[in-house]
Amino acid sequence: MRITPLQVEASYSIASCVFDLAITAEAGATELQNSYGLNINSARDFINDYRHMLQGKVFQRAMSAPAIDYYLSRILEERGSALHDAAVLAVEKHIKYYENIRKVNLNAMRIVVARHRSYVGVQPLLSVQEASFNAAVKKSFADSPARRQARLAEAARFPVKVKVTTEAFLRNPDVVAEVLRRASGQCERCHNPAPFQRKKDNTPYLEVHHKKQLAAGGEDTVENAAALCPNCHRHQHYGAIDA
């Protein structure tokens, strides 16, 4: 029986929920059967294939080229470039496996993979990467400890390494020097001495902070900057607003 685009979309969404441990694999397969008319074994295969794709492992279920394209596109959009890269690798392994045992050529799927392969290694902005990570931390923090610990038990022990690009401002070194001279080794927020001396030149360690961030249109001037200890600097970025 031909699997419809609606069934493909539903299978992706439910497989994603299963991967995130929001529901069990069997409950997800039953939902796909009862609500979307998928054969129970096909439903189980879709859920299993999704997991293998995110893990970069070969899967055996024969998905259509449009279904593969849909899965890879959604993974890139929702899971980021690192897991998309792993999924592309998994599909390449699937093609090799399936062509070998069936003695066929999966040309349509190869075209899909070639297009997605061109996305592999595309470097996201560091700011985008950080925002995505922070959102993921917030989502994890809101989850139950049991689900979080279950994911940790299945997680890889070493992180995936990806390249990222970043945007930077060419700051005026005279502003930094003048602000540090003005502070004279004392944090301009808490007024305590610098916490330690720099190893390279034995000067007091303070960080120059822009009161209105440069990314928000702030000026790179002495008036818009303050010399802060590391604790106060983090507070200015992440702490509650001072009274």
Same domain flag for 110 and 140: no
Same domain flag for 59 and 116: yes
Same domain flag for 101 and 25: yes
**Looking at residue 82, what is its pLDDT?**
83
**Looking at residue 193, what is its pLDDT?**
97
Last residue of a domain, one of 109, 136, 166: 166
Same domain flag for 135 and 156: yes
**Residue 78 within a domain:** yes
One pLDDT digit (tens) per residue for the chain, 243 residues: 689 999 999 999 999 999 999 899 999 999 999 999 999 999 999 999 999 999 999 999 889 999 999 999 999 888 888 889 899 999 999 999 999 999 988 999 999 999 888 877 665 556 656 666 667 777 887 888 888 888 778 776 766 555 555 566 668 888 889 999 999 999 999 999 999 998 888 999 999 999 998 878 889 899 999 999 999 999 998 887 665
Q: Where residue 206 sits, what CATH number does that domain have?
A: 3.40.1800
Provide the sign of the torsion angle of the four alpha carbons 181, 184, 188, 194, taken in this order: positive
Same domain flag for 83 and 150: no
What residues contact 53, with CB distance under 8 A and at least 6 apart?
59, 71, 75, 86, 87, 90, 91
**Looking at residue 163, what is its pLDDT?**
58
**Residue 19 within a domain:** yes
Same domain flag for 26 and 116: yes
For every residue of the chain, which 3-state class applies, written as one string?
CCCCHHHHHHHHHHHHHHHCCCCCHHHHHHHHHHHHCCCHHHHHHHHHHHHHHHHCCCCCCCCCHHHHHHHHHHHHHHHCHHHHHHHHHHHHHHHHHHHHHHCCCCHHHHHHHHHHHCCCCCCCEHHHHHHHHHHHHHHHHHCCHHHHHHHHHHCCCCCCCCCCECCCCCCCHHHHHHHHHHHCCECCCCCCECCCECCCCCCECCEEEECCCHHHCCCCCCCCEEEECHHHHHHHHHCCCCC
CB 186 within 8 A of CB 193: yes
Look at the block and give the residue holding tokens 């070639």: 114
Same domain flag for 198 and 222: yes
**Looking at residue 101, what is its pLDDT?**
93
Instruction: Establish how many alpha carbons lie within 13 A of residue 224's alpha carbon, considering only the half-sphere containing its beta carbon.
Output: 12
Q: What is the number of domains present in the chain?
A: 3
Residue range of the domain that includes 140: 123-166
**Residue 105 within a domain:** yes
Last residue of a domain, one of 141, 166, 191: 166
**Looking at residue 205, what is its pLDDT?**
94
**Residue 131 within a domain:** yes
**Looking at residue 66, what is its pLDDT?**
93
CB 7 within 8 A of CB 32: yes
Same domain flag for 10 and 63: yes
Same domain flag for 11 and 105: yes
**Residue 243 within a domain:** no
**Looking at residue 214, what is its pLDDT?**
84
Tell me the C-alpha distance between 225 and 54, whole Å: 44
Structure tokens at 29: 């397969």
How large is the greatest C-alpha to C-alpha distance in the chain, in angstroms?
A: 77
Same domain flag for 211 and 130: no
**Looking at residue 119, what is its pLDDT?**
77
Same domain flag for 217 and 232: yes
56: alpha, beta or left? (left if phi > 0; alpha if psi -120 to 50): left
Last residue of a domain, one of 113, 147, 166: 166
pTM here is: 0.53
Tell me the C-alpha distance between 222 and 242, whole Å: 21
Same domain flag for 13 and 116: yes
From the CB of residue 104, how many other CB atoms can be counted at a distance below 10 Å?
10
**Looking at residue 148, what is its pLDDT?**
82
**Looking at residue 238, what is its pLDDT?**
82
